[in-house]
Chain A
Amino acid sequence: MSSAFFRAIVRNRTAATGLAITACVLFAVTVGGALSPYSAVDLDFLNLIAPPSLRHPFGTDSFGRDVLTRVLLGGRVSLVVGISGVALAAIIGGMAGLFAAWYGGWIDAGLMRVADLVFSFPSFVLALLLMVVFGSSVFNIAAAIALVYLPIFARLTRNMALLVKEEPYVQAARLMGQPVWRILFREILPNIGAPLMVQASIGVAFAVIIEAGLSFVGLGVQPPLPSLGVIMADGREYFQRGPWVLTLTGVFISIALLGLNLLGDGIRDLTDPRLRERLGA
């Protein structure tokens, strides 16, 4: 990422807000858990289902565990699962899209039919099916998320690459006899990076919802490992006695996803040529 692009993000209000929120959330989940005086797993029977207070900003759960500490740790699990799933989809889907656009013909037709087929299943149903068949492990959740996003990245990369493929600089590289992989990864990919980043940013947000949903119904991350979905499923059990567990965990997810969505929107505003034209920039 060039520093000019970074400066443009900071100047755009939507992108800057999104970047700030995302940075805070990432900082909180990576460092916050370690700074907390509580453990995410130790039980404290003197403090069962205590409402939010200065000592426990998110209250405690039915085992007396500090909910904030658990949310920060669970947030780390959820984000790692979401990010690795989307990254896997972006790498595999992106490569498939690049090759489909470059070679065209039956490779293109075949890959896109496969993408269409995967895309026809409701995303959550597809993830659920894979959990049932292959069992719920953290790796399988990431794989399910990757499968949900594969067709999206493949299609997006292909369509963008088809546009860029005809640009003079790509044709020049071709005429100079550059190897195909070099044209694909050094000429085409950097020029279609922005929409892929938008999709990745929004994709991670939705991936966290998929993970949380799977864990919430009990077919995702398995306790005692905390994930945001596991904590919410736990809070659902005693929702009437301690509504803060479920409520505040959801508030945390909403804020984290708001950051990712705003960041994605902001980058799209910055890089959408039609929009820039209209704004006269």
Chain B
Amino acid sequence: MGLIRYSAFRLAGMVATVLVGCVVVFLVMKAAPGDPALSILGESAHPEAIAAFRHKHNLDAPVLQQMANWFAGALRGDLGRSLTIAGGVPISELIAQKLPNTLFIGVFAVILAVIVSLVIGTIAALYRGRMADTVATSMAVLGISMPDFWLSYMLVFAFALGLGWFPSYGFVSPLDSLSGAFHSGLLPAVAVAAPMAAVYARTLRTALLGIAHQEYVTAARSFGFRPMFVFIHWVFRNALIPYVTIIGLQVRYILGGVVVIERIFGVPGVGSLMVDAGFARDYPVVMACTVVFLVIVLLVNFAVDVACSALDPRRTR
């Protein structure tokens, strides 16, 4: 199987997962206790008002019909309307406003985590068992042990309230000012990146150590190539596959972290939208946010799979 056929195969699987995921999320949302119409309009609302509300929000048909309506709308980019937090506003508009901010923080965090983990992981592997390795691995364990939202407050305490280098709250959209987005997004991105950098660095270190003992590396060394050349060409390139894989697997944790951290730093993203909607029992918005997160995770994993196949052609055979 070539790379293109493999990609098409994976893409089809991804679309199927999204569809099944939407069905499951839809049914779970329908299992929520309470009638949204009554809880929003009040128990004493006029029956006609309730009927109109139900009709407007696609609540007056049998569940399967509602689901079909939802899918028909979603295909046209219409995810329904918000019930409470932004009464009547199309959810797709809300998402379109907030998704760039979430993506910016997420991508920024991944870039930071990749830079830090490449340095730390490589140093730890090269100086295995020595002081640098001990320091690097200890930092990595500490990184995954600190709750990210707590780290956020520590960063705010030190760099926003203490030193005053960064704002403690609020976020400039990258669509308005790119430099402003980097400036106001650095602390949230660092908070999201810290546990990721720790996981990436550990994976890279383990992979590098495992490959350094392979026979083809010993063979390359015995040819008399310089150690750095061997390291880059044989060891590092092969360690990239588990490294890229773990970046894909960790996307679900990154997005999970983003949800809480967006709220702490006042970033108007999909995560804080979902929490706000959760508080206000705005079910269609919660559902739309969940689906958006699902699609992001699957898209990234798809990209990682394709990248891994490009790095290791054996996979697509």
Contact = CB atoms under 8 A, between A and B. Distances in A.
Given A125-B255, A132-B286, A133-B31, A250 B275 contact: no
A258 B151 CA distance: 15
B149 A216 contact: yes
A135 to B, nearest CB: 8
A163 B297 CA distance: 29
B141 A209 contact: no
B253 A123 contact: yes
Contacts of B147: 209, 212-213, 250, 253-254, 257
A125 B293 contact: yes
A124 B257 contact: yes
Nearest to B249: A119
A122 interface: yes
A256 to B, nearest CB: 8
A131 B278 contact: yes
A117 B27 CA distance: 15
Contacts of A205: 144-145
Nearest to B151: A250
A270 interface: no
A122 B213 contact: no
A121 B252 contact: yes
Interface string B268-286: 0000001101110101001
Given A124-B256, A133-B29, A217-B263, A117 B24 contact: yes
A262 B297 contact: no
Contact of A265 (B17, B28, B32, B141): B141
B157 A243 contact: yes
A219 B278 contact: yes
Nearest to A205: B145
Contacts of A223: none
A134 interface: yes
A16 to B, nearest CB: 14
A209 B293 CA distance: 20
B15 interface: no
B25 interface: yes
B128 to A, nearest CB: 11
A261 B144 contact: yes
B133 to A, nearest CB: 13
A240 B153 CA distance: 11
B149 A213 contact: yes
Nearest to B30: A133
Nearest to B286: A132
B259 interface: yes
Contact of A116 (B17, B24, B146, B150): B17
Given A117-B21, A123-B256, A217-B260, A240 B293 contact: no
A278 B274 CA distance: 48
Interface string A95-130: 000000000000000000000110111111110111
A276 to B, nearest CB: 13
Contacts of A246: 150, 153
Nearest to A125: B293
Interface string B31-47: 11100000000000000
A122 B252 contact: yes
Interface string A10-45: 000000000000000000000000000000000000
Contacts of A240: 161
Contacts of B286: 129, 132
Contacts of A232: 149-150
B223 to A, nearest CB: 23
A240 B161 CA distance: 9
B290 A129 contact: yes
A239 interface: yes
A171 interface: no
B118 interface: no
Contacts of B146: 250, 253-254, 257
A122 B24 contact: no
Interface of B: 17, 20-21, 24-25, 28-29, 31-33, 141-142, 144-151, 153-154, 157, 161, 209-210, 213, 251-257, 259-260, 263, 274-275, 277-279, 281, 283, 286, 289-290, 293-294, 297-298, 301
5 closest A-B pairs (Cβ-Cβ)? A124-B256, A250-B150, A257-B145, A122-B255, A132-B278
Given A123-B252, A134-B31, A209-B148, 12 more contacts: A121-B297, A122-B252, A122-B297, A124-B253, A125-B274, A128-B278, A129-B28, A213-B147, A216-B149, A250-B146, A254-B146, A274-B210
